[in-house]
């Protein structure tokens, strides 16, 4: 049971206005000695009042019982699907009623556009949805909706920053999905902190999560990010929500990526791919060739293509490298789109195991397309790109390189190699450089020649 708190305020007998403290003269109507002290018992907002109700709603017969895992009945989770297939893919099939989602991304990346398109699609399906804008006016939201072709959508819009008024509208409308854009701008009147402060973020987010659990409405909150790309505010916000999404992209490229960092109702391995157009975001179903330039002709020295695994999807990516004579001082190592520490390790392996002298060279590595490679399977491609640039010798045309590089210079096996090779063959590649380990267990891919390498020395010999 929530602990009761006593709230004191002063009510004017003349005009009915409420004041937080007693004053001899009412500031609203000017009446003297008209403020009467009033008390009101309120539930503690920091206690999970709604969770008990939500738990009983899911399992009314077993909410307070101790059960073994085998005795717990399976939970059938319904989904609210939109017409944005890529967004539904990341969420695990759609929005779950009563869930809380936190979406973060850099300013101007397209968060509001994505959610406005999703809400408009749900509204056209006949669902009751609500878009709460705390950073823009209703007229500005209408202008954006018109650019997206949803100006006449039955989507309901509320321009408000007061959480109590927002909660009252949610309880009145009972929408299936509510979007709060953004949670950093709303405030709880009982909290003296400024909007966006740690205490306000904690209280507002907690109240919205309790409201979602009690009323059954899915609540999606938009959050700001820091300079490091992490969600701003206390980590508590990420802990209390059910799903955490990151909307990533480069303003200089038209593609966008929705990545899932946490999902209590699905996997975190999926990601959604979009292309930004003048009419909004379009889903990209064929993702393998998204970041790849033409590869029918031989690439110049320093260019190597690899297949990166993003969730369950394969992205073919071009890795470029450049080595030049270093000037005075230490040699520079500049990396874009990959882990700089891992590239430094690869350079050390090339010097020690590959026999390349790079200590007096400036080395630049770039992953084309603005995507960041965190997959170790790109080690071999980065190493061959650096070696190719240093030796001024390129790979044969239509060649893809896959493999993880060890400190001893050996090529190590990678996950889901057959899936990567199948995508490479589908896009017209003829040769694949892969680790020799467990090559006999690798199924043959028609039309794709396999070049198995045990270490970096053998791979360097393939440079023409």
Cβ proximity of 455 and 410 under 8 Å: yes
Domain with CATH 3.30.230.10 in the chain: 303-460
Which pLDDT does position 49 carry in this prediction? 43
Residues 196-219: tens digit of each pLDDT: 888 899 899 999 999 999 889 999
Q: According to the model, what pLDDT value does residue 28 have?
A: 82
CATH code for the domain defined by 85-283: 3.40.50.300
Residue 53 pLDDT class (50, 70, 90 cuts): very low
Band (368; pLDDT cuts 50, 70, 90): confident
**Is the model's pLDDT at 340 over the cut of 70?**
yes
Least confident of 7-16, 230-239, 386-395, 419-428: 7-16
Residue 188 pLDDT: 93
Q: Is the pLDDT of residue 51 over 90?
A: no
Beta strand pairing status for 129-133 and 177-181?
parallel
Pairing of strands 218-223, 177-181: parallel
Q: Any long-range contacts for 10-18 (C-beta under 8 Å, 24+ apart)? A: 10/35, 10/36, 10/37, 10/38, 11/35, 11/36, 11/38, 12/36
Q: Look at residue 375 and tell me whether its pLDDT is greater than 50.
A: yes
Which among 393, 394, 392, 390 is positioned nearest to 325, based on CA atoms? 390
> What is the per-residue DSSP string for 263-278?
ETTS-SS-EEEEEEET
The residue ranges of DSSP E strands in 313-443, in sequence order, are 313-325, 333-336, 361-367, 399-401, 404-405, 411-412, 431-435
Give residue 57's pLDDT band: very low, low, confident or very high (50, 70, 90).
very low
Q: Give percent above pLDDT 70 in the chain.
A: 90
Q: Say what angle helices 111-124 and 138-147 make with each other, to 10 degrees.
A: 80
Give the pLDDT mean for 48-70: 55
pLDDT value of position 170: 94
User: Which pLDDT score, from 0 to 100, does residue 227 have?
Assistant: 73
- Round to whole Å and give the CA distance between 264 and 421: 32
Q: How many helices (H) and strands (E) does the chain have?
A: 11, 21
pLDDT score, position 204: 93
The pLDDT of residue 20 is 81
Q: Is the distance from CB of 37 to CB of 10 less than 8 angstroms?
A: yes
Mean pLDDT confidence for 47-69 = 53
Other beta carbons less than 10 A from residue 334's beta carbon? 12
- Per-residue pLDDT of 145-165, as tens digits, reads 999 988 888 999 999 999 999
Residue 349 is predicted with a pLDDT of 96
**pLDDT for 236:** 79
Strands (E) in 3-128, as ranges, are: 4-12, 18-19, 35-43, 100-105
Q: What CATH number is given for 303-460 in this structure?
A: 3.30.230.10
Q: How far is CA 32 from CA 14, 26, 37, 374, in A?
A: 10, 6, 14, 69
Task: Return the pLDDT at 62.
Answer: 44
pLDDT in tens, 176-200: 999 999 899 999 998 888 898 888 9
pLDDT in tens, 390-409: 999 999 888 999 999 999 99
Locate CATH 3.40.50.300 in the chain. 85-283
**What confidence score (pLDDT) does residue 372 get?**
82
- pLDDT score of 60 more than 70: no
What would the DSSP string read from start to end of 293-337? ---SSPPPTTEEEEEEEETTEEEEEEEEEEEEE--SSSPPEEEES
pLDDT tens, position by position, 290-303: 666 555 555 689 99
**Top-confidence residue, 362 or 75:** 362
Q: How high does pLDDT run on average in the chain?
A: 86
pLDDT tens for 220-268 read 999 988 777 777 777 878 999 999 999 988 777 788 889 899 999 988 8
Q: Report which of residues 16 and 453 the model is more confident about.
A: 453
The pLDDT of residue 384 is 96
The answer, yes or no, to whether residue 46 has pLDDT greater than 50, is: no
What spatial distance separates the first Cα and last Cα of the chain, rounded to whole Å? 75
């Amino acid at each position: 049971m929530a602990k009761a708190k006593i709230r004191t305020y002063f009510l004017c007998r003349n005009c009915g206005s409420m004041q937080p403290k007693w004053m001899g003269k009412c500031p609203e109507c000017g009446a003297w000695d008209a403020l009467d002290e009033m008390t009101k018992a309120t539930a503690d907002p920091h206690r999970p009042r709604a969770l008990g109700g939500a738990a009983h709603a899911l399992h009314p017969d077993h909410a307070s019982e101790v059960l073994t895992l085998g005795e717990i009945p399976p939970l059938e989770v319904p989904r609210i699907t939109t017409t944005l297939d890529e967004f539904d893919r990341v969420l695990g099939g759609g929005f779950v009623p009563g869930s809380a989602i936190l979406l973060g991304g850099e300013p101007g990346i397209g968060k509001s556009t994505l959610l406005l398109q999703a809400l408009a699609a749900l509204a056209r399906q006949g669902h009751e949805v609500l878009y709460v804008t705390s950073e823009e006016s209703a007229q500005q939201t209408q202008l954006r909706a018109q650019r997206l072709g949803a100006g006449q959508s039955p989507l309901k819009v509320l321009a408000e920053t007061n959480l109590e008024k927002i909660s009252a509208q949610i309880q009145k409308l009972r929408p299936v999905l509510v979007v709060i854009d953004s949670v950093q701008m709303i405030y709880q009147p009982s909290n003296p902190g400024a909007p966006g402060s740690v205490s306000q973020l904690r209280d507002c987010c907690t109240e919205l999560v309790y409201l979602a659990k009690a009323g059954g409405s899915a609540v999606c909150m938009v959050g700001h990010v820091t300079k490091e790309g992490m969600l701003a505010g206390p980590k508590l916000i990420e802990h209390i929500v059910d799903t955490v999404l990151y909307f990533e992209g480069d303003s200089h490229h038209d593609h966008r990526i929705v990545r899932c960092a946490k999902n209590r109702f699905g996997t975190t391995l999926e990601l959604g791919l979009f292309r930004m157009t003048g009419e909004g975001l379009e889903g990209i179903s064929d993702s393998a060739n998204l970041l790849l330039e033409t590869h029918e002709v031989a690439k110049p020295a320093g260019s190597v293509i690899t297949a990166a695994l993003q969730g369950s999807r394969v992205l073919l990516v071009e890795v470029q490298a450049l080595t030049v004579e270093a000037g005075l001082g230490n040699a520079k190592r500049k990396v874009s789109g990959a882990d700089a520490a891992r590239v430094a390790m690869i350079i050390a392996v090339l010097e020690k195991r590959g026999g390349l002298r790079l200590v007096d060279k400036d080395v630049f590595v770039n992953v084309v397309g603005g995507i960041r490679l965190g997959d170790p399977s790109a080690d071999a491609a980065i190493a061959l790109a650096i070696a190719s640039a240093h030796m001024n010798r390129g790979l044969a045309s239509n060649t893809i390189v896959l493999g993880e590089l060890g400190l001893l210079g050996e090529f190590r096996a990678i996950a889901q190699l057959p899936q990567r090779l199948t995508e490479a063959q589908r896009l017209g590649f003829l040769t694949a450089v892969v680790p020799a380990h467990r090559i006999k267990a690798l199924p043959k891919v028609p039309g794709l020649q396999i070049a198995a390498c045990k270490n970096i020395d053998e791979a360097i010999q393939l440079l023409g």
